[in-house]
Each structure stands twice: as structure tokens, then as C-alpha cells.
Amino acid sequence: MFLSRIVLRDLDSIDSPASMASSKKLVTRDEWERKLRDVKIRKEDMNRLVMNFLVTEGFVDAADKFRIESGTQPDIDLATITDRMEVKRAVQSGNVQEAIEKINDLNPTILDTNPQLYFHLQQQKLIELIRAGKINEALEFAQEELAPRGEENQAFLEEIEKTVALLVFEDIKNCPYGELLDVSQRLKTASEVNAAILTSQSHEKDPKLPSLLKMLIWTQNQLDEKAAYPRINNFSTAALEDPAI
């Protein structure tokens, strides 16, 4: 260390950076379309994307028709889609026990290795009992089947408490957890089931098309900062719209 009064300091003035000129590149529609035409996308790849969507979402008839028309082979046996859709339908229509048995017949390891899914199915079963007004049965089921799951897992316990709260309210619509009775809850459980079955069949649980669409949106947003170009604003028509200048 040393006395600073002896230190000679010459402070350099700090140059302010030159202001950046905002000049976005303009791409005309002709130019854009010409460039798009230069990108070669194989028809087979497009077809496989469509097939992947139909299979994952479980549109078995459409998938079969598409197979015949386009000659695209699905990456999974179409018969398995039928099984999967039956399970999904069972959940959506509130037949949870039927769904559980069908899953176990499809592959008995799914629910054993996926405690969360098993719990959600049991929870859905309780919800259905409450919806049907079978209060005694519901209480018994909650006590005997769900309570032990809550002991195993703190998060499950909280879910159980919310569900059982439905029993306390006379006017279920006003219960803070009333949304559990919504159709959306069934759909949520059904899609969880759908994903688990797909995973057990070595199939990706999400179709590829939506993620491509997300990527398109992201890319356009990135590009917006640098260029003005014909944008796709309406994704159902995918029409190019002239750049606003």
C-alpha cells in the first residue's frame, strides 16, 4: 500500500458510443417467395409430420386413410391407437376404473412405475363418486384408497385435501376447488394417461407439428428486430402478408 496523495491520476474521458442507426433490412415479397421456393422440403417429410400428428393425437381413422392415400407408414401400430383412445375415452366419460383396467391390460408396468399418474386416476375416481353424489362411497374410497397415498407423498396429501373439500360444501359450485369437477379436470387426467401410454410405447408424447409452429413464431419474432419481410400472421391460412414499411 502507499499514500494516495502522491498518486498521479489522469482520468481518461469516456467516449460515448456512437448511436446505432436503426436500419432494418427490407425484404420484398418477390424476393421472399423466391427464397422460400429455393428451400427444398421433401414431401415424405411433410407427410411423416402429418402422420406423427394424427398418430400422437389418436386420430386412428384419419391416420389409416392418410396411410392409404399418401403411402406414409405410421411409426406405430395403428391398432395400439385404438386401445389408447379407448382408455382416453373411458377417462373422459368418467369411467375411471374401466380406464385403469384397460391400462393394466395394455401394459401392467405403466401405473406401477408412474405413481403420480396412478394417484391422479384415483383422485379422478373420487371426483366422479362425488359428482355422482355417492357420498358414503366417496368417503370410504378416500379413506381406504387415497389416504395411504397421501402418507407416501406430501404433494398428494395436499391434492387429497382439496378434493375431499368438495364433500364439505353443500353448494359445490361455490367451493374454492370447484374446478376439480370441471370437464377440464377429466381432460387433464386423460391427456396425462395418453402421454404415459405413448411413452411406454417408446413414442414421443407430444406431436412434432405444434413445436414446429412454436419455432416459427419464435423465429419471426427474432427476425422482426432485424428485418421487414412478408410475415405469416394468420396461422390457419399461413398467408404471407406484405411487410409494413
Partner 1 sequence: MPATASGGARPEEAASPSVSSPSSYCMGTRPEELTARLAAAGRPPVGGCGGGGEEDGEHERVRTLREIKNQIIGNRTKKLQYLRLGAVPAVVAALAEPGVSPAALVQASAAAGSFACGVDDGVRAVLAAGAVGHLTRLLSHPDEKVVDASARALRMIYQSKLAPKFDVNNEKNMEFLLTLLNSENENVTELAANIISHSCDSNTEQLALCAAGVPQRLVNLFGGSMNLRDACLDSMTSIIRNNWEVTSRFALMDHGKALRSIVALIHDRSPRTRLLACLCLIALSHASPSHFQDRQIKTKLILVLLELIEEPGHVGDDAPLALTTLIKDSVELQKQALSTNAVQKLSNHLLANSLESRRAVTILLALAELCSKLEESRSQLMSVQASTLIIDALKHACADIRVAACSCLKNISRSSKVLSAGKLSCDTFIAPLVQLLYDSSTSVQVAALGAISNIAVNLTPRKSILLDSGAVSQLVHLSKSMDPTLRLKAVWALRNIMFLLNPKDKDFILKELTLSTLSSLICDSEHFVQEQTMALVHNLVDGYVDAVNYVIGEDGMILNAISRQLNSAPASGVCIQGMFVLANVAAGGESNKDAVMNILVARRADRIKPSFVVNFLQSKDKQLRVSTLWCILNLIYPKCEASSVRVARLQNAGVISQVKGMVNDPCLDCKLRVRMVLEHCLDNADDGFM
Partner 2 sequence: MPVRVVDTATPSSQPSTGQDANAGHPSPPSCSLLSAGRCFAGTQNVSNVQNNEAWKVNVRIHGCDLEQGYLCGTMEALNVPLADTPVVTFWEGEIVDAKNYTFFTGKWEASPEDDIRHWSKFPSFTPLLSQIETDGGKSVDLSNYAHIFMRWKEQYFVNVGVDCGLTIAGFYYVCFSCSDGSISGFYYDPNSSPFQKLELKCTNEKDSGFTFSSYELQ
Query: By the criterion CB under 8 A, which residues form the site for partner 2?
Result: 1-9
Burial grade of 96 (CB within 10 A; 0-12, 13-18, 19 or more) = buried
Residue 113's binding partner out of partner 2, partner 1, none, with CB under 5 to 8 Å set by partner kind:
partner 1
Residues 48, 204: contact at Cβ < 8 Å? no
Can residue 154 be called a binding residue for partner 1 (CB under 8 A)?
yes
CA atoms of 166 and 160, how far apart (whole Å): 10
Residue 76's binding partner out of partner 1, partner 2, none, with CB under 5 to 8 Å set by partner kind:
partner 1
Radius of gyration over alpha carbons of the chain, in Å?
Answer: 28
Q: Which is nearer to partner 1, 74 or 230 (CB)?
A: 74
Count Cα neighbours of 88 within 13 Å in the Cβ-side half-sphere. 19
**Closest CB 15 distance from partner 2, rounded Å:** 21
Angle between the 208-224 and 43-57 helix axes, to the nearest 10 degrees? Answer: 120
Residue 2's binding partner out of partner 2, partner 1, none, with CB under 5 to 8 Å set by partner kind:
partner 2
Can residue 113 be called a binding residue for partner 1 (CB under 8 A)?
yes
Backbone angles phi, psi at 237, to 5 degrees: -100, -20
Can residue 242 be called a binding residue for partner 1 (CB under 8 A)?
no
CA atoms of 152 and 149, how far apart (whole Å): 5
Can residue 148 be called a binding residue for partner 1 (CB under 8 A)?
yes
Collect all residues with Cβ–Cβ distance below 8 Å to 149 and sequence separation of at least 6.
115, 119, 122, 156, 160
Among 47, 62, 70, 98, binds partner 1 (CB under 8 A): 98
Can residue 162 be called a binding residue for partner 1 (CB under 8 A)?
no
Can residue 104 be called a binding residue for partner 1 (CB under 8 A)?
yes
Residue 3's binding partner out of partner 2, partner 1, none, with CB under 5 to 8 Å set by partner kind:
partner 2
Kindly list the residues in this chain that would bind partner 1 in the complex (CB under 8 A): 76-77, 79-80, 83, 97-98, 100-102, 104-109, 111-115, 118, 145, 148, 152, 154-155, 200-204
